[in-house]
Amino acid sequence: MRSFEYASPTSREDAVNLLAENPGQAVILAGGTDLLSLMKDDVETPARIVSLKAITDLGGLDSSSTGLRIGPLVTLDELAGHAEVKEHYPSLVQAALGVRSPQLRSMGTVAGELCQRPRCWYYRGGFGLLGRHEGKSLVTAGENRYHAILGNAGPAYFVSPSSLAPALVALGARIKLLGPKGDRELPLETFFRIPKAEGEREHDLGADEIVTDILVPPAAGPNATYEVRQKEALDWPLAAAAVALEMNGSRVKSARVVLGHVAPTPWVAAEAAKALRGKAPDEAAGDAAGRAAVKGARPLSHNQYKIRLARVAVKRATLRATGKEV
């Protein structure tokens, strides 16, 4: 690991100033579960690390009539163990517990989990976010069984690694950021983006900005996350789905369906939501929603199997949300 300068500000404003002093060469440290790995592999080589751990008002979970405020430094364990989250946002609990390592859950933060970098082995191997060499994609011609089947028209083929993001996007969460020009707030859905050229990032977070709040509106109805994984031990899912429903009696009034680990962003499946509307959320409706969710999928040479897994994830998340999972 290369040498670096370490800063530990005690206020949000000081953190932003420290980032702005060294644009592009300073990075944020929260739990460190991803950043330290990137630094050890020489993928990230920051001149300055700005730790947020001493900024106490970046922590805390607060529930009110307007919804849930999640501090960016809240750990995954804190999120999964919070009584209000358990009662009203089970999809978040299921997503947080999907991180199987107790050590990662105890150290990893909500904002860090949302902002973690792709697990693509080409990126981690030093070939850049788009996985290119001599102007050509290594992904399309190489080993791509864990890469995207949606949103992969190119040149980005990695999958968004966040387990929390699909659930939060399905719940209509917003994210607040602070930079030198002040606060800004945007839907979490638009915080994630697909880079089109080298040098672009997959998050709408400036080099001199920090996350200050994740805001989740009151849950309109049942919600759930379902992940399909190769093994139950520490591993990233092969496909996932989060479903948030608003019910009218025994039928779905409205729905939000968001896929995870199958696209460079949390993938909002509008057709799947449409397939659930007006239906009883049973196996038939869940299966129809799953088929609709993967319309337009473009599998690469080694990841055709993800289409089936994404369909299953949508169906299982629908059944889980309404207590019908067997």
CATH number for the domain that contains residue 265: 3.30.465.10
pLDDT at 274 over 90: yes
Strand pairing category for 174-179 and 210-216: antiparallel
* Secondary structure E strands in the chain: 5-7, 26-29, 48-51, 61-64, 67-70, 132-133, 136-137, 174-179, 182-187, 210-216, 223-228, 239-248, 251-260, 267-268
- Check residue 18 and give its pLDDT: 97
Task: Identify whether 287 is part of a domain.
Answer: yes
The pLDDT confidence band at residue 324, using thresholds 50, 70 and 90, is confident
Rounded distance, CA 15 to CA 42, Å?
24
Task: Identify whether 119 is part of a domain.
Answer: yes
293-314 confidence digits (pLDDT tens)? 999 999 999 999 999 999 999 9
Strand pairing category for 48-51 and 174-179: unpaired
The pLDDT confidence band at residue 236, using thresholds 50, 70 and 90, is confident
Share the mean pLDDT of the chain.
96
- Sign of the dihedral through C-alpha 86, 90, 96, 100: positive
Task: Identify whether 130 is part of a domain.
Answer: yes
CA atoms within 13 A on the CB side of 78: 14
Give the count of domains, the chain: 1
Two tokens at 132? 């290119």
Task: Identify whether 105 is part of a domain.
Answer: yes
Task: Identify whether 17 is part of a domain.
Answer: no
- What are residue 187's DSSP bridge partners? 174
Closest CA to 84 of 58, 100, 99, 66: 66
Dihedral angle at the C-alpha atoms of 247, 288, 310, 70, nearest 10 degrees? -10
- Check residue 326 and give its pLDDT: 67
Two tokens at 268? 């909002």
Single-letter code of the amino acid located at 140: T
Q: What percentage of residues in the chain have a pLDDT greater than 70?
A: 100
Residues of the domain holding 69:
56-326
Task: Identify whether 13 is part of a domain.
Answer: no
Task: Identify whether 127 is part of a domain.
Answer: yes
Task: Identify whether 168 is part of a domain.
Answer: yes
Q: What is the pTM assigned to this prediction?
A: 0.96
